A and B are shown apart, each in its own frame.
Chain A
């Protein structure tokens, strides 16, 4: 076994280790948070970043062939699919939970939210100006 193969092994192991750490973080977050919409944030991380790191490590192990190309296709597909499935899941939660306002702040009208955001932005700007002066 020459030096190049050793370097390939070490870099691949580093990528796979990163992927495993991200999967552990995902599981910790899923058991740590108290509500679905918070848990979803942790769960969506493993779908994109975790599997990307793991498959990058496996791609480095497998070398340049069609298997590598297919693994890259899986990563690209999950980059598109994971946000969509998270969005659909959160819509499911928002549509079926009658008691949603107990878990998060709800605005009945979008204009109210926009007005509130605008006032906070103006306040922030004035504060920054005062600080800069």
Chain B
């Protein structure tokens, strides 16, 4: 009796969430800058967390919520690490460009 009410509700929630996930993916593909894409990935992570929690109640498996907690931590870590790495690569390229520009000027002269 109880499952007959909750089951279609959870299925509907999963369908709506997956549509919103697709819209987030469009933002990640369209995003003109790197920060846009990272932000979209962060949003997708949030929606996937809700989906995993819904699945945990739908399948009656409590341990899926543990996976959700670990997913939250890894998603946060990935955003921080990718931002830091990208800032480092950008500054390195900037410095190397300045050096090569100086070197080229000497070669041209």
Q: Footprint of B on A, CB under 8 Å?
A: 1, 5, 9, 13, 16, 19-20, 23-24, 26-27, 30-31, 36, 39-40, 43, 46-47, 50-51, 54-55, 58, 61-62, 65-67, 70-71, 73-74, 77-78, 81, 84-85, 88-93, 95-97
Contacts and interface: CB of A to CB of B under 8 A. Distances in A.
Contacts of A58: 53-54, 57
Contacts of A9: 5-6
A47 B2 CA distance: 31
Contacts of B36: 36, 39
A27 B27 CA distance: 9
Contact of B72 (A46, A81, A93): A81
Interface of B: 1-2, 5-6, 9, 13, 16-17, 20, 23-24, 27, 31, 33-36, 38-40, 42-43, 46-47, 49-50, 53-54, 56-57, 62, 65-66, 68-69, 72-73, 76, 79-80, 83-84, 86-87, 90-91
Contact of B87 (A23, A39, A70, A95): A95
B86 A92 contact: yes
A66 B66 CA distance: 10
Contacts of A89: 35, 38-39, 42, 79, 83
